[in-house]
Structure 1
Amino acid sequence: MAVAAAFTLPLVVPARAAAPAQAAEVAAKPGSPSPAFKTVGLRTQLNWMQAMPDTMPLAQMSIPGTHETMAFYGTAFAEAQEFKESPQKSLTMQLDAGIRALDIRVHPQGGVDGDRLHIWHGAADQKAELGSGVLGPLRDWLGKHPSETVLMNLSVEGTVDPSYCPGQDTASCMSGYFKEYVGPGKQYASLFWAPSVQGSSRAETPTLDKARGKVVLNVYRNSAGNPYSGWGLNYGTDAGYKAQVQDEYKVGTPSAITTKWNQVQAFLATTRTKRAGNLPYYNFLSGTGIPFLTPSDVAGGGSTGSGDPTDPPTYFTGVNERALGFLRTDSGERTGVMMMDYPGYGLIDEIIRHNPTSRAGTAVEQNGQLNAFVRASDGNLVRSYLPYDAQGTQGPWVQETVGATLKAPKMAGNPVATVRNDKTVDVFYRSDEGHLIEAWRPPGGTWQYADFSTSGYAPATIAGDPAVVNHNGVIRVFSRNPANNHLMESVLPTQGSTAGRWEKWDHADVTGAPQIFSSATAVVRQDKTVDVIYRTADNRVNHSYLAPGSSWKQELIPTEPPKGEGKLGEVAGDLSVVAQGSTISVFSRDAATNHLTESLLTGGVWVHTDVTAETNAPELSGSPVAALRSDNTLDVYYRSKDGHLIEAWLNSGSGTWQQFDFSNPVYHYAPPQIAGDPAIAIRPGKVSVFTQSGTGSHLTESWLTTSTWTNWDMTADNRAPVLG
């Protein structure tokens, strides 16, 4: 969120405590456990779908999954996943780690009525039935995590002997076996999203609100890989289904792993370019090459050679490690469903972090009137504002459908806004085609919009969200060009021959700034220095700045300042920056620990503080959003891993950080669960924190007057739309 210059106030900055050192990630030898490989049980992502709005289509999400989910037994060529005590506990470990797409292979055999489908991988018995081994643990797990949903591929493994289907064709027979689990009144009927298990018709892909707490059957396939009619999602024909899947699994030699990775990358590009449609894309990272490469070799890498002096080992990198490296430096968003053998916690986390960002809009003050701009569930820009009546009394909130009225392009990202010196309110956002769009309204005038990407004022497409500041009357909009990951600036000068005409600058040309791999955030200091902050390809923090009377310069914020304090590890997600007089504070989420870190620039020296360690605050799930109150209190808000709204603030008297849980039911200062990142508006003596509720995707406001916090649901009161 860009913090408007109008909210920048001086602050006497007290001394900060040094941040404790953070452990560095050590590169693993191919074939060894690493963040990409065979570490599924080292971290948990129990409720990550809480952060997604109810209106999110499953087909637009980035979902980590496992290929041959239950393949724990047999030879090295049959095993594909890590094992923990039992098949049931191993499945639960995957779910705890964040896996939300399963690949279940069944074959009929004798058993108790209602549980006659057994789990196999090829000829390897996996020692579990579909009901007690898979559906029962899923029901237990989803009962504890109702915000989540699980996609399931169900497939028949091997040829079905006619003795299991007397007097029936195989398709009817296998449908009958599955109906013993999910038919009306059967034990697991309520576990599934009902339209996907009708047995007589296929379903359109649901939005997340319809699927929470349920298993969605994606497809039920025969042994040849073709979908049975009447089950799962509506792919139409067999060819239609196969167009949504990349599963080139034959990887015969170490050199063929590169070919497999190229196939994964190409299908990832297809997933992103084909935005239309409402069907998931399934991208399998898995493969095997009997008799040379096991699933473990393809996923995690390994070595050739015996290792003796005459035959030294030659190491090769697996698909999982290549995927993690790519996604960490990737500027795209949606990955689709990525199905993996032996995933590691880092790869799972990175896929989850590629879900579309969600924020409760942005807010600016115009002539004393507070304006909140949000993306509605239909993709349109909506304004909610607090008007004044004839007597000067403020309120109540009024909702205005700006985008629909203008017929402006629909939004894919989150809006940012500022106010020009002539009091024109300026809103910028990324459209569903990736264009940079401006919507503006002068005082007493009407709304207008312009497409900067088609007008040449911005790249042909942008990635992430823009940032905007009013720099002493000059409007500066910063965006990311996904074609080369350069930081771009669209600027509206007020002086010179180009005054009043938008210009476009490439900061890689201007300053040699490194590539950008997050949304930018920007602020204007009291001395009129402009600061732009973003995350680089190697997850460091870049600082580009323009001082009065000077030209643009840039620096990488030092991870261990030689004259400063603390340590800055690799960062994740987007960042936030706040000006405090002549100093700035940059807030980030540590990629290894999910801690909140402050990087303070004061007197030309950077000082890093681990705010989470200092306050014992909950870990971050989203990105931090910061602002400076009118009483000089430095305020940071974020979504925790359990979906709560957390505030961390700096006590200017003691110089120490403190924290508070707004979602604590004792106080009810925020919804019990929030989705996405919050937004903040600062006015003299007042603070408004806007959030998206985890249930219903409502816009809620928590506001502070004097010393009292109050929370209300703006959408329920028809003062704001359901958010997208």
Structure 2
Amino acid sequence: MGVPVKILCILMLLLHKSSDPEVFNDGKTLNLPANYKIGWMKTLDDEKLISTLTIPGTHESLALHGGLLAKCQAWSLWNQLMAGIRYFDLRVSGKNLKIKHGPIDQKTTFPDALETIREFLSKYKTETVLVRVKPVNPEFSKVPSLVENKIRNAKDIWVKPSVPTIGKVRGKIVFVQKNTFKLGIILFETDEKGDYKVTNVKVKEEKIKKHLEEAADKCRTGSALSLSYSSGTSLGTVLGFRFLPKKLAKQINPWLYDHLEKEFKKNPKPCFGIIAMDFPGFDLIQMVIKFNGLT
């Protein structure tokens, strides 16, 4: 009797695990469901302002290298696009426009990222991809003009400050701007200075909740495109290495999924603008997308 009971317990545990939503991902491989629609923006109303969407994004989108201190994502840019991510945070440095996280080279460049996004949009013409360029050291002051030279006269990139409808930017890249980069839509960033520093997970959760409420207020009117972060780190605080990006995401992502699931049940459903995440799992991304009334 003992052995069959043990086997039954193991099977029940496996079944339970397989039914849990994938909210955190730290593996390179992307496994998409057979019936998954990559072009999730296809059925959006062409007249809908993109500032009234809820958009899954990543923080430090190409921070794939540097170990526990610097790594914020596991999937490549292409895999993030395929999984439904439509906002990318690119930290760009120097005359070669290298992508960096702090001092750590991420082994790719802004032109490479642009080429990948363009390739994706050539296959999925119903989509639009939002890109934030954040100039960083060294030579951060040169980055804006160098980026401008790379995209000069490009017909597939929106660089105006006005918020477009989705119909105007299908198949295009939409630049968003803040502070040191002045091309594209002006962002309303809900995070305040230092909010990325985490010493208490519960406090971080409350901050995210507050930021999403602020974003929802902006989103209702469509007056501005909001950006909120669920990411963070304890580096630079008294806790030092306690909550590095990966460890924090393991705790925050399940909470974020549950919080969004509760918000989704409201009538009318809120919208939240861009939610930028670290190590998001496929189901967390899909939960964000659901707010657009597509699933």
Q: TM-score, normalised by structure 1?
A: 0.35
Aligned equivalent of 1:58, options 50, 62, 65: 50
CA distance in 2, matches of 1:138, 1:46: 14
Aligned equivalent of 1:38, options 12, 25, 35: 25
Aligned equivalent of 1:292, options 205, 226, 242: 242
1:327 maps to 2:260: yes
Q: Pick closer, same or farther for the CA change 1:92–1:180 going to 2, 3 Å.
A: same
Q: Aligned runs of 1:17-28 on 2, under 5 Å?
A: 26=17
For residue 48 of structure 1, what is the amino acid of its counterpart? W
Aligned equivalent of 1:180, options 137, 149, 153: 149
Specify the alignment match of 2:10 in structure 1: none
Specify the alignment match of 1:616 in structure 2: none
Cα displacement (A) at 1:273: 3.0
1:138 maps to 2:117: yes
1:232 maps to 2:201: no
CA distance in 2, matches of 1:281, 1:25: 36
- The answer to whether the 8 Å contact 2:52/2:222 transfers is no
Q: Pick closer, same or farther for the CA change 1:27–1:258 going to 2, 3 Å.
A: farther
1:101 maps to 2:87: yes
Cα displacement (A) at 1:24: 5.4
SS in 2 for 1:95: helix
For residue 57 of structure 1, what is the amino acid of its counterpart? L
CA distance in 2, matches of 1:103, 1:25: 35
Specify the alignment match of 2:215 in structure 1: 271
Residues 471-513 of structure 1: CA deviation (Å, up to 9, x unaligned): xxxxxxxxxxxxxxxxxxxxxxxxxxxxxxxxxxxxxxxxxxx
Cα displacement (A) at 1:190: 3.1
CA distance in 2, matches of 1:42, 1:245: 32
SS in 2 for 1:348: helix
1:260 maps to 2:252: no
Q: Aligned runs of 1:599-614 on 2, under 5 Å?
A: none
CA distance in 1, matches of 2:262, 2:31: 23
Q: Aligned runs of 1:528-543 on 2, under 5 Å?
A: none
CA distance in 2, matches of 1:326, 1:51: 26
- The answer to whether the 8 Å contact 1:45/1:96 transfers is no
SS in 1 for 2:164: coil
Q: Pick closer, same or farther for the CA change 1:279–1:273 going to 2, 3 Å.
A: closer
CA distance in 2, matches of 1:350, 1:150: 18
CA distance in 2, matches of 1:77, 1:25: 32
CA distance in 1, matches of 2:281, 2:170: 25
Larger RCO (CA within 8 A; separation ≥ 6):
2
Unmatched runs of 5 consecutive residues or more in structure 2? 1-13, 236-240
- The answer to whether the 8 Å contact 1:268/1:283 transfers is yes
SS in 2 for 1:249: coil
Aligned equivalent of 2:155, options 166, 190, 202: 190
Specify the alignment match of 2:4 in structure 1: none
Unmatched runs of 5 consecutive residues or more in structure 1? 1-22, 84-89, 110-115, 162-169, 197-201, 236-240, 301-317, 358-620, 623-724
CA distance in 1, matches of 2:146, 2:99: 13
CA distance in 2, matches of 1:258, 1:27: 27
Q: Aligned runs of 1:207-606 on 2, under 5 Å?
A: 207-219=165-177, 221=178, 226-229=179-182, 231-233=183-185, 235=186, 241=187, 243-246=188-191, 248-252=195-199, 256-274=200-218, 275-290=220-235, 291-300=241-250, 318-330=251-263, 331=266, 332-355=269-292, 357=293
CA distance in 1, matches of 2:62, 2:176: 17
Greater Cα radius of gyration, structure 1 or 2: 1
CA distance in 1, matches of 2:109, 2:244: 25
Cα displacement (A) at 1:25: 5.0
Instruction: Decide which structure has greater helix share.
Output: 2
Cα displacement (A) at 1:244: 3.3
Q: Percent identity?
A: 28
SS in 1 for 2:41: helix
SS in 2 for 1:329: helix
Instruction: Decide which structure has greater strand share.
Output: 1
SS in 2 for 1:63: strand
Cα displacement (A) at 1:48: 0.4
- The answer to whether the 8 Å contact 1:45/1:97 transfers is no
Cα displacement (A) at 1:45: 4.6
| Runs of 4+ with >4 A deviation | none
- CA-atom RMSD in angstroms: 2.2
SS in 1 for 2:17: coil
SS in 1 for 2:116: helix
- The answer to whether the 8 Å contact 2:230/2:275 transfers is yes
For residue 190 of structure 1, what is the amino acid of its counterpart? K
- The answer to whether the 8 Å contact 2:135/2:180 transfers is no
Residues 438-469 of structure 1: CA deviation (Å, up to 9, x unaligned): xxxxxxxxxxxxxxxxxxxxxxxxxxxxxxxx
- The answer to whether the 8 Å contact 2:62/2:99 transfers is yes
Cα displacement (A) at 1:77: 1.3
- The answer to whether the 8 Å contact 1:117/1:130 transfers is yes
